[in-house]
Amino acid sequence: MTCYFRHISHIFEELGINVTAEKKRGIDIAIHEMVGVDYKNCSAAWKEVKKRLAEDEERFIASLRDALAKP
């Protein structure tokens, strides 16, 4: 779980998200849902996150902002 967070810490900083132990699971679930990968499949999620970042980082960031804004 969250094996890729260290690679996208700059995105969390840009969004003003303080990733704490309490928040990690919720953030991870939101990212998995956003990229369409079953939760806890870290390798597949990271692969899809990398792909989307390469295609359009700003769109990924906007999508993540929206996903994390959901209650």
Is residue 13's pLDDT more than 70? yes
Q: Report the distance separating Cα 49 and Cα 36, nearest Å.
A: 10
* Tokens matching residue 19: 């990733």
User: How many angstroms separate the Cα of 17 from the Cα of each of 5, 13, 61, 64, 65?
Assistant: 12, 6, 12, 11, 10
Q: Which domain holds residue 10?
A: 5-69
**Contact between 8 and 49 (Cβ < 8 Å):** yes
How many domains are there within the chain? 1
Kindly state the percentage of the chain with pLDDT values over 90: 92
In a 10 Å sphere around its CB, with 0-12 CB exposed, 13-18 middle and 19+ buried, how is residue 56 labelled? exposed
Instruction: Enter the pTM of the model.
Output: 0.90
pLDDT tens digit sequence for 18-33: 999 999 999 999 999 9
